[in-house]
Structure 1
């Protein structure tokens, strides 16, 4: 139950989610829900959330795009804090599946937070699970009239968390819903780290044409000294400015510190070398200025969300094997 998840500073709780898949569910919406959870675990360097794929019978469920997903049956669900219904375009409860209605009513009465992605929210509305709750729902289909669905309180927001009910208008709003869940259990600091991580990966590494001349010169100097790194004070001296001035240039134009950007450049170079496949992992680490392979692995995984080996070309794997034999 979401309200019972008050943060415990000595041992922060694990947010336990179940995703209930129905036939022809929206795979894009599900992916948008899972990615923030994966990133939260990565940046926290521990399991801050766990999830399970569920369905009525525990069968393989096919998404609307044809991708099949293995599931566990609902009666074998792990202990959950949140159960989220993932459906497709059908916003009406099918008469030929009374078990679906019965299970929805059952879970609506349980001490867990019950939610739905996109049009699946209308299925909750039809069993009265949203009566008395604020909710975010997409535009109803013609047969679905607000007046016929009890005491709905729709809000003009992409997503809504009201006590034990969670709804969102569509796939694009799912990420915001997941961020809200994570923030309530693990604090806004984790969400800020996640947003900074995503922004950093999206930031171009090359300077824009109208960037200050000294900033462009510093970036060129950094690019020329990836293996034998220069200190921030050395870079500032080379530009004839103070360290503080240099830091202000980076913060104002690139949104980060010089050391952070220097690391970004080295990691981007490392991925280029890995894909070229001409060096082993230790060789790439040395070429990009990392004093140890372990430190290289840790930084690379935090930045790209993958192990360097995952980006290693076949020739690089061969070089790594030959090095191990030698």
Structure 2
């Protein structure tokens, strides 16, 4: 089992997560949990995490919006490191199921991480699985069984991971919970790369039609020197301004440093060549100013979240 208390310093095995669905579960919360896991695998270029969708009886289970989701019987699931309960707005009714309670008690005693999304956390609280643990829980429902236990230690945070317990207040906090889980199992560097990748995908190279003339001239010079890249001091000298002034122009107009934007231009050019030319990757890397193929592959994967070879096949 992977520990959830300290970041791993060596490359750990894939984190095995089970999502335990209850009838009328929140599909939005489940999607918010799965997307970071998918992105982690994409950014890292390997199977950082694996997941299964399970339920007590298996078969199709309806979400609160009526969409049916296929599940595997919980007792037939592959070995797990973490099991996360996914309910809906009113998880109190299924909590009365004797079988559900027995299974919750069983898994609470296992050496695995046990968590819940949103109000499903109150099911863990009802059986005492959160006693002695810090936890993040939404406001309790009107049901008498949703009473606060004196042994609970709620925190004023959208999500919480305390040893082998994972909780969050609702669908919007699920992504943060998954990021924290990945950080503890595979290191915070992975989460940082995921966040950078998502930010870059949401912000393509920006238009500079209305940018200052000095900035537009610098960008044109960068485009003319993608193979033999120029140092930032050389660019500033060519524009007749200080390096500090050039950096301010980039930060104000493009929200990044000159070196960051220069690398973006080179990587965008590399992707274009991969998809439209038959040149070997070594030649493409050199044409875009990379001193080695390994450095090119690393920068490319960090930027696009995929290996350069993937875009040759896609072209």
- Quote the offset at 1:48 in angstroms: 2.3
- Quote the offset at 1:250 in angstroms: 3.9
Partner of 1:72: 72
- Quote the offset at 1:110 in angstroms: 1.0
Q: What are the ranges of 5 or more consecutive residues in structure 1 without an aligned counterpart?
A: 321-326
- Quote the offset at 1:241 in angstroms: 4.7
SS in 2 for 1:88: coil
Equivalent residues of 2:30, 2:86 under 8 A apart: yes
- Quote the offset at 1:177 in angstroms: 0.8
Provide, for residues 204-263 of structure 1, a one-character-per-residue CA deviation record: whole Å limited to 9, x for no partner: 5225788654223323444x5498775446644542456786566546764544354244
Equivalent residues of 2:4, 2:184 under 8 A apart: no
Equivalent residues of 2:19, 2:52 under 8 A apart: yes
2: CA distance, partners of 1:33 / 1:189: 19
Task: Indicate whether 1:124 and 2:124 are aligned.
Answer: yes
Ranked by relative contact order (alpha carbons within 8 Å, sequence separation 6 or more), the top structure is 2
Partner of 2:156: 156
Equivalent residues of 1:232, 1:243 under 8 A apart: no
- Quote the offset at 1:38 in angstroms: 2.0
CA RMSD between the two structures: 4.0
TM-score (ref. length: structure 1): 0.74
Equivalent residues of 1:29, 1:170 under 8 A apart: yes
- Quote the offset at 1:115 in angstroms: 0.3
Describe the shift of the 1:202–1:8 C-alpha distance in structure 2 as closer, same or farther (beyond 3 A): closer
Partner of 2:83: 83
Deviates more, 1:242-251 or 1:187-196: 242-251
Q: What are the ranges of 5 or more consecutive residues in structure 2 without an aligned counterpart?
A: none
Equivalent residues of 1:207, 1:216 under 8 A apart: no
1: CA distance, partners of 2:164 / 2:22: 21
Partner of 1:14: 14
Describe the shift of the 1:273–1:90 C-alpha distance in structure 2 as closer, same or farther (beyond 3 A): farther
SS in 1 for 2:92: coil
Equivalent residues of 2:131, 2:151 under 8 A apart: yes
2: CA distance, partners of 1:44 / 1:308: 13
Describe the shift of the 1:43–1:210 C-alpha distance in structure 2 as closer, same or farther (beyond 3 A): same
- Quote the offset at 1:109 in angstroms: 1.3
Describe the shift of the 1:190–1:5 C-alpha distance in structure 2 as closer, same or farther (beyond 3 A): same
Describe the shift of the 1:14–1:59 C-alpha distance in structure 2 as closer, same or farther (beyond 3 A): same
Provide, for residues 99-150 of structure 1, a one-character-per-residue CA deviation record: whole Å limited to 9, x for no partner: 2222112111111111001111112122221222221111111114664645
Partner of 2:168: 168
Equivalent positions of 1:188-267 (< 5 A) are 188-203=188-203, 205-206=205-206, 213-222=213-222, 225=224, 231-232=230-231, 235-236=235-236, 238-241=238-241, 246=246, 249-250=249-250, 254=254, 256-265=256-265
2: CA distance, partners of 1:4 / 1:199: 27
2: CA distance, partners of 1:232 / 1:35: 38
Partner of 1:98: 98
